[in-house]
Amino acid sequence: MARAVHPELAKRIVRTNEQGMSRLDNQSAMTLVNGTKSGGGKNTPVARQQKDVTILDIYRNAASVKVVASDWIDYLQIAKYNGSWRIVNVLWELKPAPAP
C-alpha cells in the first residue's frame, strides 16, 4: 500500500446523519498504510470478496479509476509521479450491509 499511494493522499467519504447533516471524513496516506499493515480487509470471507477495477479514463499522467470491493466503492484519481502511478485522491462510499 505504501508504494501505491502518494504521501499526500486524501481519502474522503461524505457521511450524513439522521438529521440530514453531512460531514466530510478524511483519511491520510499513513492511516491507509497502517490500516493495511494491521490486516484491514483480510477477514472478508472468500464468498464475499470482490475486487472489480475499471479504468474510467487516462490522459498522459492522470487517470480516474473505479474500484468495487465487497463493502465499498472507491473512485480514485491516480497520477504518474516520479515514473510510478500513485493514488492521489480517493472519494468512497460504503455499500449497504448485506442481509443476514
CA-CA distances (angstroms) from residue 63 to 23, 40, 92?
A: 27, 26, 16
Q: Do 76 and 87 form a contact (C-beta atoms < 8 A)?
A: yes
User: If DSSP codes are grouped into helix, strand and coil, which group holds residue 38?
Assistant: coil
Residue 8 has pLDDT above 80, yes or no: yes
* 36: its cell numbers: 493495511
Residue 98 has pLDDT above 80, yes or no: no
Which domains does the chain carry? 5-40+48-91 (3.10.450.50)
pLDDT at 10: 95
pLDDT digits (tens, 9 = 90+) for 33-59: 988 888 777 777 788 888 999 999 999
pLDDT digits (tens, 9 = 90+) for 69-78: 988 999 999 9
pLDDT at 90: 97
pLDDT at 75: 98
